[in-house]
Structure 1
């Protein structure tokens, strides 16, 4: 999640744990602790692919954060004595640190909660920026500063609301997952990998990816849709040359769970992570090889994707409300390509 959200969550968690001993300084400390794991963005791993894949690694691991919270609590108690016992202080520090990766695990890219075991954990039910999750936390912090005698109660209420919103997001994702599963029964894509994640800034409209053998299928489904059948668009996955070895390509395949496409752009082979973005506007794209007679691996180069158009925002809103004349590219369905194979028995 974004830094503002993580800071707000850290502050509210600190207030909830501190109870009657809470103060604005504790909220500030909680906000700082809540953003601390993301300082790993300052570390360069040598190339853009490694920087993306290894972010949310050791600094987000429960195996690192829990021991680190003991060390940090001990130093805090030694140099800045507080009214907290060591166990209370450790619980506050640990809670602020650990809730950061746990929240990140609810987004499309997840996090390596058990680093050094290289298994990203992701339940992609939240977009990386979600005002409906963040704003209540910010309001709780503001209210806590105005009514300081009620800080603990306000923070606990805010934390409860945040957990209820996460529960809603998981429930909504399961609704969409059931729709996809039912639609794919009896089609060539039954049993194929599926990736479901919310569209920007909400948990009502969901983006659905289905990975086939040579193509992937992209569609939108809103919780408010009257017709639950998803109108998929078919797009090519491309292929990675079998004769070409690349550690970075293997890293991306593992990191994306196979939701990756390859395109030849001029003389470069570009790998795109399909999980974050929409249509052709994908956030992470890398040139990994070039062709000059034969394929040759190159040092990864990040490729900028086309910027989103402000004109698409009204279409996104209409689609969210259940207008099914808008497709995964946020254009009118009549103007967009259709699949070569049927995705449902009609």
Structure 2
């Protein structure tokens, strides 16, 4: 999730558990600790593919954050002890601040390596968009109330109430994901589509409209599914350029992307370069992670040993308005075919 959300989540957890003793300082301590795992972004792993796929790695491991919580507890109890609360309560607080950060990240589409250093694929439950105001606003309000009025009396209940509300919202997003996948699977059976892999994720800034991707050999299908739809989802079939993947058989960057993305990749040849796109992230036609991994020369293709990430576009307000209308009305359909075609024109 975005840094602001992680900060207010950490602040809310620490305020709920230690605000009685630490007062407003609990908000500051929790916010700082809650953003700690994301400091791995300052590490340069060598190229753009490595920077993408090693982010949310060791610093988001359940094993590492548990060890960090133990270490911090030992240091604090030695140098800054507080007789008001036990070491067990302190350990639980620090552990939950770090744990909620990495678990919340796993609810997004990116991929979080919760079990590092085990060589398991990243976990992406993909039920929440990376920025979701409905999740973040209750936590932000609780932090603002705590900052203005302190953590005494009724104000002390706000962090716990906000955490409960945000957790219930996460449950709602999981239900939305199941709804979308069930409707798509029923539509697949009627259409005779036998996809190799299925991935569902919310459309930007909401959890009411879902984007579902089906990998089907040389092509992929996309569909939008909303809570208020009254008709089966309609599939749009798009070329994936899968044959170009053979060019990258010896590319370590490509192998790393396949592992990280679950093979939800698209391949395009543009201006003499072979571009690889992670289809899971962003929105149709606007995918932030695109990498040139080979370039064409007179004798064929040459692998690029240091991958660079293409400049990412954020889309435009007009398309967000189209998606907003699609939440409430299934027709007219969103022009996914045209949006996907735009990907090869930038």
TM-score by length of 1: 0.91
Deviation of the 1:20 alpha carbon: 2.9
Counterpart CA distance in 2 for 1:288 and 1:243 is 8
Deviation of the 1:152 alpha carbon: 3.7
Q: 2:239 aligns with which of 236, 241, 258?
A: 236
Counterpart CA distance in 2 for 1:101 and 1:328 is 35
Counterpart CA distance in 2 for 1:291 and 1:144 is 59
> Counterpart of 1:247?
252
Q: Is the 8 A contact 2:248 2:294 kept in 1?
A: no
Counterpart CA distance in 1 for 2:24 and 2:335 is 45
Q: 2:307 aligns with which of 285, 292, 300?
A: 300
Check 1:270–1:135 CA distance in 2 against 1; reply closer, same or farther (3 A cut).
Answer: same
**Mapping for residues 199-218 of structure 1, pairs under 5 Å:** 199-218=203-222
Counterpart CA distance in 2 for 1:313 and 1:201 is 9
Matched, 1:122 2:117: no
Q: 2:328 aligns with which of 318, 321, 330?
A: 321
Counterpart CA distance in 2 for 1:45 and 1:6 is 24
Deviation of the 1:304 alpha carbon: 2.3
Q: Deviations over 1:183-237 (max 9, x none)?
A: 111544235311100011100011111110110111211111121x112221111
Q: Which runs of 4+ in 1 moved over 6 A?
A: none
Q: Which has the higher helix share?
A: 2
> Counterpart of 1:339?
none
Deviation of the 1:305 alpha carbon: 4.3
Counterpart CA distance in 2 for 1:18 and 1:273 is 41
Counterpart CA distance in 1 for 2:87 and 2:102 is 23
Check 1:16–1:328 CA distance in 2 against 1; reply closer, same or farther (3 A cut).
Answer: farther
> Counterpart of 2:24?
24
Matched, 1:312 2:316: no
Deviation of the 1:317 alpha carbon: 1.1
Q: Is the 8 A contact 1:18 1:152 kept in 2?
A: no
Q: Is the 8 A contact 2:288 2:313 kept in 1?
A: no
Q: Deviations over 1:238-292 (max 9, x none)?
A: 1312574100000001111010011001111000000012222111000001110
2:125 aligned counterpart, secondary structure: coil
Q: Deviations over 1:55-90 (max 9, x none)?
A: 000000011110111111111222323233221111
Superposition RMSD on alpha carbons, in Å?
2.0
1:122 aligned counterpart, secondary structure: coil
**Mapping for residues 1-346 of structure 1, pairs under 5 Å:** 1-18=1-18, 20-82=20-82, 83-118=84-119, 119-145=121-147, 146=149, 148-149=151-152, 150-227=154-231, 229-238=232-241, 239=243, 240-242=245-247, 244-292=249-297, 293-298=299-304, 299-327=306-334, 329=336
Report the number of matched residues.
Answer: 333
1:41 aligned counterpart, secondary structure: helix
> Counterpart of 1:342?
none
Counterpart CA distance in 1 for 2:70 and 2:25 is 20
Deviation of the 1:330 alpha carbon: 8.9
Counterpart CA distance in 1 for 2:267 and 2:50 is 18
- The answer for unaligned runs of 5 or more in structure 1 is 337-346
Counterpart CA distance in 2 for 1:113 and 1:275 is 19
Q: Deviations over 1:104-155 (max 9, x none)?
A: 0000013111101132112100000001100110111122232531344221
